[in-house]
Amino acid sequence: MSITAETAKEHAKDPAVLCCRAEAGTVLSASNLEDPAIFDDLVDSGLLNLDGCLTIEQILGATLTKTCDSLTPLTPDVLDGVKEVASEEAAEETAVPVAAAPAAPAPVAGPAAGGVLRIHIGEGKDINIELPTGLTSGGAAVAEVTEAPVAGVAAAPAPAAVEEEKVIRTLTRKHFKITEVKRGPETKIEGTTLYIREGIEADVVADQELVKKFELEIITPDKYHTYSETIMDVQPIATKEGDSDLGTGVTRVLDGVVMMLTGTDEDGVQIGEFGSSEGYLDENIMWNRPGCPDKGEIFIKGNIVIQEKTNMERRGPMAAHTAFDVITQEIRTVLKKLDESLVVDTEELKQVRRPGKKKVVIVKEIMGQGAMHDNFILPVEPVGVLGARANVDLGNVPVCVSPLEVLDGCIHALTCIGPASKEMSRHYWREPLVLEALHDEEVDLCGVVFVGSPQINAEKFYVSKRVGYTVEAMDVDGAFVTTEGFGNNHIDFASHLEQIGMRGVPVVGMSYCAVQGALVVGNKYMTAMVDNNKSESGIENEVLGCNTLCPEDAIRALAMLKTAMAGEDIKKAEKKWNPNVKATNVELIEKAYGKKVDLVANEQSLPMSQKRKEKYD
Amino acid sequence: MKELQYGDKIIRMEGVIVDIDDCSISVDLKGRLGFFKAPKRMFICDYPLKVGQELGWNMSFPEQLGPEVNEKYVSNIEKERRKQEEMRQQRIDNKEV
């Protein structure tokens, strides 16, 4: 199929191949050329050999000297009047006067900047010039900020003053240590021992009509090698002090212990599950992932049995989560009254705005297809149930929250299937991208937008258009879009990126993709993408939390967005998943920042279960 | 990971939606070629879902990855089966009481 002049321009540096038979004497134009997007497949299958092929910009306007069949790569021997195009280096050099400062990071700092940044304005009014701060040409990262503004201030006629940081609100986390969990006559905390009332199981069962049975188990590290049903959720135990709302004031949290929910229906069928992913805890949990338990923590593990056949209905998982919260709520009540002297650590999280810095927003796509593909948004207590609204009930439309609300547990995730890529409730409590962006002094994080992923395409586009307008109204310089899992949620994921990208806002997408989660759709705005995969073979390896967003992904995404916001090109992705791309980017970032990026371990670090050994690796 | 031998032999398949719940869709393959049930998010839908709607997709033939039996899965399946049996029995007993 021939291409348009516009496409030809976009692909100026790509190989020129005839789309259909052309007679000798034809003056070549875009309409004679095949779309370079399909070449990879043709080369792979051996139908096309691009050796010695000229680029599109070289052959446009040239005359064919020989009649050629379709799919003939255009080489100098069949053409007359091939354009000499300056080599890559030369092209870059000519661009220097415009982009001197951004292109060369080192000279920026010195008084004798490598080139001259000349801005000439003959006549004008209300001119704002913003200069990218400290950029490298490496296509990956940013040099020290402290130095970069030097060039900006010196050169920019408009005031490029960097204003003071503004602390909008703070959230204090008071940590209480728990080293032992026991059963006792009442729920209480004594020193570092948490007692859970005997007989609390009956309250859990009584709370929801659908809940028929409940068992509580306390898993200490020596019991990690215990058989367990599929893990539905991992939650922190936290409560608000006084009347403060989520995301403000003081939150008390228990360290060393997490709530873990598992469940089946009365017939023993897993809640909202497909296939078997149950097994031994220590073989199935990727320790220390943001959403997972940390190694050494005690799990208060509840196994809920709900009415038969409700495991695949929306009310089933909802009832399980709501009933399980009875226990957490009882612990919260005790935690509220705990003596201050037991606080082992106080952490202050600040929501900082940095006027004058690049304004960014994080769009997090959460599941919204129904049943366990749902999330309770904004409960009264961190990761609670009371007061929250399910995003399916909200129509999956975008909901704006503050970064501190995210870190204070504003999402109670019912967590979709696919253990390796699901973001559990605890993930939001320790969301790495929000933390990185909040602490990065080079960007101004203005907020977080949660948007659900509905089932039907029309609804998907309905919500993604709302995302577009929300981001437009925010007037940001850059955006992140993240999603969990894979499947049809990649359709709206792509649409969110398009809606943001078409408004001229640089946007970075983050998802698990690799081999199994390869994107089903794409558009021209999906150029900057970060893959959350950690598994060795690039697959859903049934290990809880393995392929979720981690600090290393957040660092890569930030570096990529800064690069995109600076107007630099991000290299095209390779056709097939190649883990080396990540390795190279991490190396580039380490070089540019001068600091080590610690990469997390993957399933290879776990005791190798027979199933993984044989099936995957 | 073992390479597939026939992975590129793609054939067009069609099926009919026979059941829908809040998280999955069940599909009968046309031509009495089987049945499958998969999570909703693995389906691409342009219209509201209804039983009786037809679906199409490309697939190849599942190939065995090797002769070995993975004991872990066998034990999981067995445990699952026994548990389900037990729980069902319990429920029946409770009803009788």
B25: nearest CA partner in chain A: A312
Per-residue pLDDT, averaged over A283-300, amounts to 94
Q: Which residue among A290, A323, A345 closes a domain? A: A345
Answer yes or no: do A111 and A210 share one domain: no
Per-residue pLDDT, averaged over B47-75, amounts to 92
Answer yes or no: do A27 and A135 share one domain: no
- Return the pLDDT at A162: 62
Answer yes or no: do A283 and A367 share one domain: no
Q: Is a pLDDT exceeding 90 seen at residue A369?
A: no
Å between B37 CA and nearest CA of chain A: 8
Number of domains chain A is built from:
4
Answer yes or no: do A375 and A503 share one domain: yes
Confidence of residue A116 (pLDDT cuts 50, 70, 90): very low
**A417 contacts in chain B (CB < 8 Å):** 23, 39
Contact B91 A458 (CB under 8 A): no
**Burial (CB count within 10 angstroms: exposed 0-12, middle 13-18, buried 19+), residue A192:** middle
A-contacting residues of B 34-53, CB under 8 Å? Answer: 37-49
CB atoms within 10 A of CB A225: 11
Q: Is residue A224 part of a domain?
A: yes
Contact A305 B84 (CB under 8 A): no
Answer yes or no: do A71 and A92 share one domain: no
Q: Is residue A378 part of a domain?
A: yes
Annotation marks residue A416 as catalytic: yes
CB A343 within 8 A of CB A476: no
Q: Does residue B25 or residue B75 have the better pLDDT? A: B25
Answer yes or no: do A281 and A387 share one domain: no
Lowest mean per-residue pLDDT among A91-95, A192-196, A251-255, A473-477: A91-95
Answer yes or no: do A442 and A541 share one domain: yes
B80: nearest CA partner in chain A: A268
Lowest mean per-residue pLDDT among A99-113, A380-394, B62-76: A99-113
CB atoms within 10 A of CB A502: 14
Answer yes or no: do A289 and A361 share one domain: no
- Return the pLDDT at B72: 83
Answer yes or no: do A450 and A565 share one domain: yes
Contact B41 A520 (CB under 8 A): no
Per-residue pLDDT, averaged over B62-76, amounts to 88
A-contacting residues of B 65-84, CB under 8 Å? Answer: 65-66, 68, 70-73, 76-77, 79-80, 83-84
What are the pLDDT digits (tens) for A135-152?
A: 433 333 333 333 333 333
In whole angstroms, what is the distance from residue B33 CA to residue B35 CA? 7
- Domain housing A340: 170-345
Q: What is the DSSP letter of A24?
A: T
Lowest mean per-residue pLDDT among A160-174, A269-283, A309-323, A327-341: A269-283
What are the pLDDT digits (tens) for A80-96?
A: 888 877 654 433 333 32
pTM: 0.80
CB A106 within 8 A of CB A144: no
- Return the pLDDT at A93: 34
Which CATH number is A61's domain given? 3.90.1210.10
CB atoms within 10 A of CB B71: 11
Q: What is the DSSP letter of A223?
A: G
Confidence of residue A609 (pLDDT cuts 50, 70, 90): low
Q: Are strands A478-483 and A358-367 parallel, antiparallel or unpaired?
A: parallel
Answer yes or no: do A399 and A521 share one domain: yes
Which CATH number is A361's domain given? 3.40.50.2300
DSSP assignment of A363-395 equals EEEEE-SBTTB-EEES-SSTT--TT-EETTTTT
Interface A-B: count of C-beta contacts within 8 A: 105
Q: Is residue A580 part of a domain?
A: no
Q: Which residue among A315, A345, A375 closes a domain? A: A345
CB A557 within 8 A of CB A506: no
In whole angstroms, what is the distance from residue A520 CA to residue A518 CA? 6
Q: Of residues A416, A446, A546, A550, which has the active-site annotation?
A: A416
- B24 CB within 8 Å of a chain A CB: yes
Answer yes or no: do A326 and A361 share one domain: no
- Return the pLDDT at A575: 79
What are the pLDDT digits (tens) for A16-49?
A: 998 888 888 888 888 888 888 888 878 877 788 8
In whole angstroms, what is the distance from residue A425 CA to residue A233 CA? 7
Q: Is residue A579 part of a domain?
A: no
**A308 contacts in chain B (CB < 8 Å):** 91
Dmax (CA) for chain B in angstroms is: 57
Nearest to B22 among A312, A417, A520 (CB): A312
In whole angstroms, what is the distance from residue A601 CA to residue A398 CA? 33
What are the pLDDT digits (tens) for A454-466?
A: 999 999 999 999 9
In whole angstroms, what is the distance from residue A397 CA to residue A404 CA? 20
What are the pLDDT digits (tens) for A507-554?
A: 999 999 988 888 888 899 999 999 999 998 888 888 899 999 999 999
- Return the pLDDT at A66: 87
Contact A615 B70 (CB under 8 A): yes
Confidence of residue B90 (pLDDT cuts 50, 70, 90): confident
Contact B1 A537 (CB under 8 A): yes
Q: Which residue among A291, A320, A345 closes a domain? A: A345
Bridge partners (DSSP) of residue B28 are: B16, B35
Q: Is a pLDDT exceeding 50 seen at residue A394?
A: yes
Å between A233 CA and nearest CA of chain B: 17
In whole angstroms, what is the distance from residue A188 CA to residue A335 CA? 8
Q: Is a pLDDT exceeding 60 seen at residue A428?
A: yes
Closest CA to A438 of A146, A136, A167, A132: A167
Answer yes or no: do A254 and A326 share one domain: yes
